[in-house]
């Protein structure tokens, strides 16, 4: 008997996990062997990481054990790190074995884009995984404890966040909410604490928001104590702080870089043609040169009908995962493929507790209403991946 076609999915983030979950629902065990590979045995909600990073939420709230989501009778889970992708040999090298595939789905997410700014790679924290946000949260609290022993070092209480797109904005909102608790706990005068959000563009908040919503969001965050440095580049990051384009030096013991992302380096290394580490996929989300390789989420680049690429987002990754699963099932059943169409619903950026701003289905939303919509969006994702049981577990 011929072996069943082997589908290998790399990465259990939003894109890879949704592909796996949909395949386990759609396929019967005579149609394919499906393997999901991920560095950790849990799925993390990347879009939530700003909260545990600031310490306003527990990190386990942003984690879900993969065994809770995957039926091991249908999808074989391998906890391992991908070291190399070999599309010509149809192989993937993991740290402990080599896998051969008939169809590959790459959903390995993104890496910080540092634009070659000296010191950012070495000295700035990045919000990118559960382990990285645990480090940030611990470091922030450590700075308060250290300041109590060296009260002349106000740079321990100075926080610089590079970039004020979605990640930077959501993080400064949470950090501003967290600091009053830390000031109280360590008996630190809150006027000594400074949060600088440095942004090269002339305005903060995610690109594409209408200017009245940008003004609203920036007003909210300024009232919470954020100091914006707009139209300002970070020229260098050092162990002592950051040098700005103007030459000004901000002495700060904590620098967090959120200034951009690029696709996982493994794609470039595998010889895929990339722009910012992302592969311009065809209408079925495949690499144009390798029709057996599908690419989802932050590793892929999808053009909007206007001809500009959609910004990487969890929303896009989830829709791509569903489309890839559907098309893999279609290939295995000799049915026609369905082109990917993205019905972009909009973006909502949280500004800390009870405050958010954004556009949903073309309508502007702000304040508490926007914060509730954001919670509904998050809840919807939990329902997609884990049904009512996961939803109830996470919200209660
Ligand atoms: C703080 C923050 C807030 C955000 N807020 C929003 C939001 O409100 N709305 C929105 O739509 N988007 C938001 N985003 C963007 C969104 O999180 C990403 O676009 C989304 O996570 C991309 O999904 P993905 O499947 O491509 O990758 P990810 O979800 O990042 O998953 C990649 C997976 O691959 C695994 N992996 C990586 N390398 C390896 C390897 N070598 N071997 C094995 N496994 C590996 C990782 O462990 C991870 O499980 C936010 C991002 C951040 C950082």
Work out the average pLDDT over 109-120.
96
Cβ pair 21, 63 in contact under 8 A: no
pLDDT the model gives residue 339: 97
Q: Residue 207's pLDDT is what? A: 80
Q: Is 14 in the pocket of ligand 1 (CB under 6 A)?
A: yes
Tokens 């700035």 sit on residue = 124
Distance linking the first and last C-alpha atoms of the chain: 49
What is the reported pLDDT for 206? 77
User: Which of 101-110, 203-212, 339-348 shows the highest mean pLDDT?
Assistant: 101-110
313: Cβ below 6 Å to ligand 1?
Answer: yes
Q: Is the CB of 19 under 6 A from ligand 1?
A: no
- Those residues whose C-beta lies under 8 Å from the C-beta of residue 142, and which sit 6 or more positions away, are none
What is the pLDDT at residue 220?
97
With a 6 Å cutoff on the Cβ, whether 323 touches ligand 1 is no
Alpha carbon nearest to ligand 1 atom 50, residue: 47
170 is catalytic: yes
Percent of the chain with pLDDT over 70: 99
| DSSP per residue, 160-212 | EEE--SHHHHHHHHHHHHHHHHHHHHHT--GGG-EEEEE-SSSS-SSTT--HH
CA of 245 to the centre of ligand 1 (A): 30
Name the band, by pLDDT with cuts 50, 70 and 90, for residue 350.
very high
The model's confidence at residue 1, banded by pLDDT at 50, 70 and 90, is: low
**DSSP labels for 219-280?**
HHHHHTTEEEE-S--EEEEETTEEEETTS-EEE-SEEEE-S-EEE-HHHHHTT--EETTEEE
List 122, 141, 170, 174, catalytic entry: 170
Predicted confidence (pLDDT) at residue 396 exceeds the cutoff of 70: no
- pLDDT score, position 351: 97
Instruction: Please give the pLDDT value at position 40.
Output: 97
Q: How is 358-390 classified by DSSP, letter by letter?
A: EEETTEEEEHHHHHHHHHHHHHHHHHHHHHHHH
**Ligand 1 atom, smallest distance to 80 CA:** 43
Ligand 1 atom having least distance to the Cα of 298: 26
Query: Which atom number of ligand 1 is nearest to the Cα of residue 17?
Result: 25
Q: Exposure of 186 by Cβ count < 10 A (0-12 exposed, 13-18 middle, 19+ buried)?
A: middle
Question: What confidence tens digit (pLDDT) does each residue in 41-87 have?
Answer: 999 999 999 999 999 999 999 999 999 999 999 999 999 999 999 99
- Segment 364-389 shows an average pLDDT of 93
CA-CA distance, 142 to 364, in Å (whole number)? 39
Count CB-CB contacts under 10 A for residue 375.
14
- The average pLDDT across 222-247 equals 97
Residue 383 above 70 pLDDT? Answer: yes
Residue 393: band (very low, low, confident or very high) from pLDDT cuts 50, 70, 90: confident
**Predicted TM-score (pTM) of this structure:** 0.95
Flag whether pLDDT at 169 surpasses 90: yes
Question: What integer pLDDT is reported at residue 198 of this predicted model?
Answer: 97
What pLDDT is recorded for position 249? 98
- How far is Cα 368 from Cα 346, in angstroms, rounded to an integer? 17
Q: What angle, 0 to 180 degrees and rounded to 10, lies between the N-to-C axes of helices 314-332 and 14-26? A: 30
Domains of the chain: 6-112+261-344 (3.50.50.100), 120-257 (3.50.50.60)
Using DSSP's 3-state secondary structure scheme, residue 54 falls into: helix
User: Is residue 38 in contact with ligand 1, taking CB distance under 6 Å?
Assistant: yes
Instruction: Name the pLDDT band for 344 (thresholds 50, 70, 90).
Output: confident
Percent helix, strand and coil across the chain, each rounded to 5? Answer: 40, 25, 35
Contact 232, 245 (CB under 8 A): yes
Gap from CA of 314 to ligand 1 centroid (Å): 7
Closest alpha carbon to 54 in 166, 194, 181, 241: 181
> Does the beta carbon of 11 sit less than 6 angstroms from any atom of ligand 1?
yes
Average pLDDT of the residues of the chain? 95
- CB-CB neighbours of 47 under 10 Å: 21
How large is the average pLDDT for residues 128-133?
96
What are the tens digits of pLDDT across the range 181-214?
A: 999 999 999 999 999 999 999 999 878 899 999 9
The number of the ligand 1 atom at minimal distance from the alpha carbon of 50 is 1
Q: Ligand 1 pocket test: pick from 13, 95, 320 the residue with the most ligand atoms within 8 Å of its Cβ.
A: 13
Give the single-character DSSP code of 142.
H
| Confidence check on the interface: ipTM exceeds 0.90, yes or no | yes
From the list 37, 39, 38, the residue with the least C-alpha distance to 101 is 37
């Amino acid at each position: 008997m011929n072996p069943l076609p082997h589908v290998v999915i790399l990465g259990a983030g939003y894109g890879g996990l949704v592909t796996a979950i949909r395949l386990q629902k759609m396929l019967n065990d005579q149609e394919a062997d499906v393997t999901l590979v991920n560095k950790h045995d849990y799925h993390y909600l990347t879009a939530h990481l700003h909260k545990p990073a600031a310490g306003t939420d527990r990190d386990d709230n942003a984690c879900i054990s993969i065994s809770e989501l995957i039926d091991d009778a249908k999808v074989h889970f391998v906890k391992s790190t991908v070291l190399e992708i070999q599309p010509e040999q149809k192989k993937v090298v993991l740290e402990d074995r080599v896998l051969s595939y008939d169809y590959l789905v790459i959903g390995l997410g993104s890496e910080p884009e540092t634009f070659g700014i000296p010191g950012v790679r070495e000295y700035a924290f990045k919000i990118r995984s559960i382990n990285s946000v645990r480090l940030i949260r611990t470091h922030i609290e450590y700075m308060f404890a250290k300041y109590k022993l060296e009260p002349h070092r106000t740079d321990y209480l100075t926080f610089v966040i590079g970039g004020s797109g979605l990640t930077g904005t959501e993080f400064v909102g949470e950090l501003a909410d967290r600091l009053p608790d830390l000031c109280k706990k360590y008996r630190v005068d809150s006027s000594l604490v400074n949060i600088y959000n440095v942004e090269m563009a002339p305005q903060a908040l995610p690109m594409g928001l209408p200017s009245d919503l940008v003004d609203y969001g920036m007003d909210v965050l300024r009232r919470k104590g954020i100091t914006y440095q707009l139209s300002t580049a970070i020229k260098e990051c050092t162990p002592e702080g950051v040098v700005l384009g103007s030459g000004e030096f901000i002495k700060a013991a904590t620098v967090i870089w959120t200034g951009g992302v690029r696709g996982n380096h493994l794609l470039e290394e595998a010889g895929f043609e990339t722009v910012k580490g992302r592969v311009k996929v065809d209408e079925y989300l495949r690499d144009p040169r390798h029709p057996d390789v599908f690419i989802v989420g932050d590793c892929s680049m999808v053009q909007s009908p206007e001809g500009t690429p959609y910004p990487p987002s969890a929303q896009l990754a989830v829709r791509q995962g569903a489309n890839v699963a559907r098309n893999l099932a279609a290939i295995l059943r000799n049915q026609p493929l369905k082109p990917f169409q993205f019905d972009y619903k909009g973006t909502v950026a949280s500004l800390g507790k009870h405050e958010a701003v954004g556009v949903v289905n073309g309508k502007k939303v702000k304040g508490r209403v926007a914060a509730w919509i954001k919670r509904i969006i998050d809840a919807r994702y939990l329902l997609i991946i884990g049904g009512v049981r996961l939803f109830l577990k996470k919200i209660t």
